Structure 1
Amino acid sequence: MALSLPAPAFAQSAKPAKPVKPATARKPSASAPLAALFAAYWNEQARLFPLNATAQGDNRYNDQLPNDQTQAFREQLRAFYQKYQTQLRKTDRRQLNATDQTSYDIFDYDLAMNLAGLRQPDWMIPFTQGGGLPSTLGQLGAGTGSQPFKTTQDYRQWLGRARAFPVWADSAIGNFRRGMLAGIVLPKALVVKMIPQLKSFVVTDPTASLYYAPMAKFPAGVPAAEQPELVAAYRQVILQDLVPSYQRLAQFLETEYLPQARASSGIDALPDGAAQYAYRVKRATTTDKTPAEIYQTGLREVQRIRTEMEQVKQQVGFAGDLNAFFAYMRNDPKFRPFKTPEEVLAVYRGVLTRISPNLPKLFGKTPKTEFEVRRTEKFREASASAQYNQGAPDGSRPGIFYAPIPDATQYNVTRGMESLFLHEAIPGHHYQIALQQENTSLPKFRRFTFNSAYVEGWGLYAESLGKALGVYTDPYQQMGALNTEIHRAIRLVVDVGLHTGQLTREQAIEYMMANEPIDEQRATAETERYMGNPGQALSYKVGQLKILELRAKYEKQLGPKFSLRAFHDELLAGGSMPLAVLEKTLDAWAARQR
């Protein structure tokens, strides 16, 4: 007898079964423990670096100036970085969302580089002619920097910071002496520039000091009854703390240090100099490119840009060779039309007026932070380069483009005034840094951290946008843009050449003058800048070339879906990061566009 089996389940219903949706992977949410780790790190580092905190608008430590010249401070930093690196690596990166993975990668990279930096002997050279606390303190105390002078408390906090300078200065002298014993000293050519810088702070009349500037005009937040007390305190701190400190530093450098400073130009002359340079190259470029690779890239870029310069020379009908054209632009009086610094500044301000109508075509997001153009302060403009100083993220202090104008009558328009503005101001550093600081969705370490290859690469890339923004219409301004670009390409040759023993200071100056319309004074200042800060000058061209490479890559991948405006917005959205992390982030953006 046959068994009666139940009908198959699919035959028991006349209606077709509904298809079962495949399970979808749940997107990871933001990691609260990671956010807490970043917040704890940022709060702790503000106490360790109160000057940075002040620059970022965190005024809790405006009265503090820790002595970062001591071994104890360096050990404290090492323990600090190691603690957070250990905690970070306990996090399973695979479980994080894309934004947190990017933050993880940036944080891990920065901590590793900071720990490696503490193994370098930089502490034996506390400052140079190009920067350091003695000059930074001057900017802060003069009221032209990030130190606020709005209330009585602000004025008193500055006094606390100024009174700590003598201890710092004496410790710096001690570290210079340690460097003398170890054979780690600065080139003589730099030391002779540092001595007059320090002496400029030495005055007998306190009212003649730039540190007295906040006394000249008290703001409404300082009651009249409290002003005499502050005036007396400032006179005292200038004459008893600040002036003697600068005097001791100048005297030490002149009498003790200068005789033992070195005749060589590059860091390769120092003990283990090649390893020091390798670290600096990696830190500046955020890549694994070797000095030899970078040097060859520089030679190729110099040749490419010279070819474009030849085309402009032919366009204007100049009959001589390119070097003669350089000499013509350097020496002809018509290229030096200025009589006053204000006339120079007016040209820079006019660039903003000209590019403003075209900015929305290239940028969907623009910063809220205000912006100003100012002349570099007299005490530092002789050896300073044009620079951008970040504004306060809350808008209380504008971003500032500083232009050094030691002698307006010698200021040459062919040096690339339009391209310099695009780089240092808008849409260069001001857009990039202000947007980053204003982005409160980022953890603070990302809002206020700056990787040189990204920041300077963006600045140099911004120069390439000139024609789209409505400038470079005059062939000599176009030549100026090429001048500024070749200047950064030359840096790849000169910086590597100096610090690997291939070029002396004099040969570097000669190479610069042979490949761009630069006078000897400026070529000397630039060469000495590279001598004092090995590797930093490499970041500009390396970063720019990477951004151009990525733009071309996505234009090819996306075709008609590529938007330059969207590319710029995405590139700036995440703030400064190592170039490899930037590429990974932008690759994900391009995939979303597809």
Structure 2
Amino acid sequence: MRGMVAMAGALWFLGAPGVLAQSGPSDAVPKLNAIYQAEWEWWKNEMAEEPDDERPGEESDHLARVDEASQQARLAHLQAVLADVNRIGTASLTGEDKVNAEIFRTILEERISDLRFKTYQTPFNADSFFWTEFTPREGFPDQEAYRRYLGRLADVPRYFDEHIANMRAGLKRGFTVPKVSVMGRDKTIEPYLATDDTNPLFLPFTQMPANIAAGDQERIRSEARDVIAKQIAPAYTKLLEFIRKEYLAKARTSISASTLPDGAKFYQARIEKFTTLELTAEQIHQIGLGEVARIKEEMQTTMQKAGFKGTLPEFYQFLRTDPQFYAKTPHQLIAEAAYIVKKSDLKLKDTIGTLPRFRHGILPVPDALAPIYTGGRGGLESCLFNTYNLPARPLYTLPSLVLHECTPGHSFQAALALEAPERPKFRNDVYFSGYGEGWGLYTEWLGRVMGIYETPYEEFGQLTYEMWRAARLVVDTGIHHYGWSRDQALQYMKDNVALSTHEITTEVDRYIAWPGQAVAYKLGELQIRRHRRDAEQALGPKFDQRKFHDAILALGAVPLPVLEQRMAQFIADGGENPSTPSRDPADHSN
């Protein structure tokens, strides 16, 4: 309930959502700021997070309510807030105030879209699951945090029951995850059936800090064992039975989003959510075909540079099968990733002007997720790399993966966001795939400028990853708009991308289960590279890539149209940025 006092004060100023009077330009900013604060507090409360804690995103002592009534109440609330924002009249806003309003409106529209289409009825996909999302990777800092965690564990039975009810409603109307893309994912539930200390949810109790007295530690561990045995394991057992006997048995056999209720509008809404652009599936498909053709020409050149005498498909096969390109042990892969991060660190001073103080670690993907997980994923605290099935994890693509997920990609972005200047709190707690994934893919190309790639094979690996994202534009729209089969999508990827069959299969299944998400990467990257070309041409010798990158990163996550406006201003300002002092990472008040 913390934060509700501030929320109440903001609502007192505004009146209840949906009844805001028309505002003039002079009072638009304070009224918007009051809405921002109230909604940030409200949303954190809805998502069972503690908005006033020292660490942003710290979870509460319970899990969020996900039942139908709560979801529809959120929809009504958000629609009323959007109506209030529209009545304020944001056209007269300028500078940071305009950016705040455009981001906030986009957030509202995305959340409203999700709730209208009832995406909560499909609460998992090919590699992301509600039953694993609250599994900690490490211990907590103090006894209060452990108490909150115990509360969340005790709330799991209720949380799962609400998800099960939602999935049953989805089954009834034919709105489900495609069966083919989630077969075998039920195995990720099995580790949580353990009633002893091997249960993944017990991990934090093996890493308790010294600031908790030994006697208190033992009492907390005893409580945890009791909760896991009596509530967690039974809840997961019930969930597993439902997934295996009911959900997978009745899940739809079609794979295209267009076959869902109101499917064409749903897929277009997914495209707009993930890209923040108003592009059609047909336009994206054509962009993808053009990029595939362009990149294939670059691949031919790089293959010849490597001295390979055969065809491009033969080179793909060589790369997929030659032992020199694969780690022998998990440690070798993790160590190579760490080395690439340090190579990137060395080049940062020449690449980006503002560097964060926060540092991330590198960890393997947890064993329970590894068989169906992507090759890597970045985050504020750590980058994860998949050490499962090493013959499917080529080292020649690892530099690109590290740049994208770690530094200067997602982990680096997250650290900058943590230390960003003070702005409305919702700005530090939002993610737009077109911007974030676009930057991640751009950093793979930027590795050429930074000198990260040491061999033609690693250069080909960068092109492989770029081709992979270009092929996604074709495959995602092929599946969800043009009605491609899974085999057709797999074959297109195999014909054009030098990834292993295992990686291609897990990726295609992800596109099937998560329509629209995969197209954000390439579209965002294309826009950023276009901005760079425009800036280089307009500014000539005054172009400084450090300032260019600062202009992008200082925004934090934004819709791509907002980035478009900012980069036009960057050029108009002669390639200079306004002074924006960062915050100390120890100050998490915002």
TM-score, reference length from structure 1? 0.88
C-alpha separation between the residues in 1 aligned to 2:159 and 2:344?
A: 45
Q: Secondary structure at the match of 2:184?
A: helix
Alignment partner of 2:536 out of 555, 563, 573: 555
Q: CA deviation at 1:172?
A: 1.5
Deviations along 1:106-152, one digit per CA (max 9) or x if unpaired, are 111221222222110312212223213211122x3xx43xxx61222
The answer to whether the 8 A contact 1:438-1:447 is kept is: no
CA, structure 1 residues 124+93, in 2 after alignment: closer, same or farther (shift >3 Å)?
closer
Match of 2:12 in 1: none
Q: CA deviation at 1:51?
A: 4.8
Match of 2:191 in 1: 200
Counterparts of residues 231-246 of structure 1 (less than 5 Å): 231-246=221-236
Match of 2:587 in 1: none
Match of 2:166 in 1: 175
Which amino acid in the other structure matches residue 445 of structure 2?
Answer: S
C-alpha separation between the residues in 2 aligned to 1:73 and 1:565?
A: 46
Counterparts of residues 8-87 of structure 1 (less than 5 Å): 31-51=29-49, 57-58=55-56, 61-68=59-66, 70-87=67-84
The answer to whether the 8 A contact 1:187-1:264 is kept is: yes
Over aligned residues, Cα RMSD in angstroms? 2.2
Q: CA deviation at 1:214?
A: 2.1
Match of 1:358 in 2: 347
Q: CA deviation at 1:504?
A: 1.0
Alignment partner of 2:388 out of 385, 394, 406: 406
Q: Secondary structure at the match of 2:211?
A: coil
C-alpha separation between the residues in 1 aligned to 2:57 and 2:98?
A: 31
Match of 1:125 in 2: 122
CA, structure 1 residues 208+455, in 2 after alignment: closer, same or farther (shift >3 Å)?
same
Alignment partner of 1:381 out of 362, 365, 370: 370
Which amino acid in the other structure matches residue 525 of structure 1?
Answer: T
C-alpha separation between the residues in 2 aligned to 1:90 and 1:327?
A: 59
Q: Secondary structure at the match of 1:208?
A: coil
Structure 1 alignment gaps of length 5 or more:
1-26, 392-398
Q: CA deviation at 1:54?
A: 10
Q: How many residues align?
A: 551
Alignment partner of 2:88 out of 58, 74, 91: 91
C-alpha separation between the residues in 1 aligned to 2:549 and 2:204?
A: 40
Larger displacement relative to structure 2 (75-84 or 358-367): 75-84
Counterpart check, 1:439 vs 2:420:
yes
Alignment partner of 2:297 out of 284, 301, 307: 307
Match of 1:24 in 2: none
Match of 1:346 in 2: 335
Q: CA deviation at 1:241?
A: 1.5
Match of 1:165 in 2: 156
Alignment partner of 1:487 out of 447, 468, 471: 468
Structure 2 alignment gaps of length 5 or more:
1-24, 576-590
Q: CA deviation at 1:474?
A: 0.5
Q: Secondary structure at the match of 1:96?
A: coil
Match of 1:107 in 2: 104
TM-score, reference length from structure 2? 0.89
The answer to whether the 8 A contact 2:399-2:453 is kept is: yes
Q: CA deviation at 1:457?
A: 0.2
C-alpha separation between the residues in 1 aligned to 2:341 and 2:247?
A: 45
The answer to whether the 8 A contact 1:54-1:62 is kept is: no
Q: CA deviation at 1:447?
A: 1.4
CA, structure 1 residues 524+544, in 2 after alignment: closer, same or farther (shift >3 Å)?
same
C-alpha separation between the residues in 2 aligned to 1:427 and 1:281?
A: 26
CA, structure 1 residues 281+196, in 2 after alignment: closer, same or farther (shift >3 Å)?
same
Counterparts of residues 189-588 of structure 1 (less than 5 Å): 189-203=180-194, 205-336=195-326, 338-391=327-380, 399-408=381-390, 410-414=392-396, 416-588=397-569
CA, structure 1 residues 333+94, in 2 after alignment: closer, same or farther (shift >3 Å)?
closer
The higher radius of gyration belongs to 1
Match of 2:17 in 1: none
CA, structure 1 residues 217+445, in 2 after alignment: closer, same or farther (shift >3 Å)?
closer
The answer to whether the 8 A contact 1:457-1:539 is kept is: yes
The answer to whether the 8 A contact 1:463-1:481 is kept is: yes
Larger displacement relative to structure 2 (497-506 or 420-429): 497-506
Match of 2:586 in 1: none
- Give aligned-pair identity as a percent: 31
Q: CA deviation at 1:29?
A: 11
The answer to whether the 8 A contact 1:28-1:96 is kept is: no
Deviations along 1:570-590, one digit per CA (max 9) or x if unpaired, are 111111111111111221222
C-alpha separation between the residues in 2 aligned to 1:582 and 1:253?
A: 42
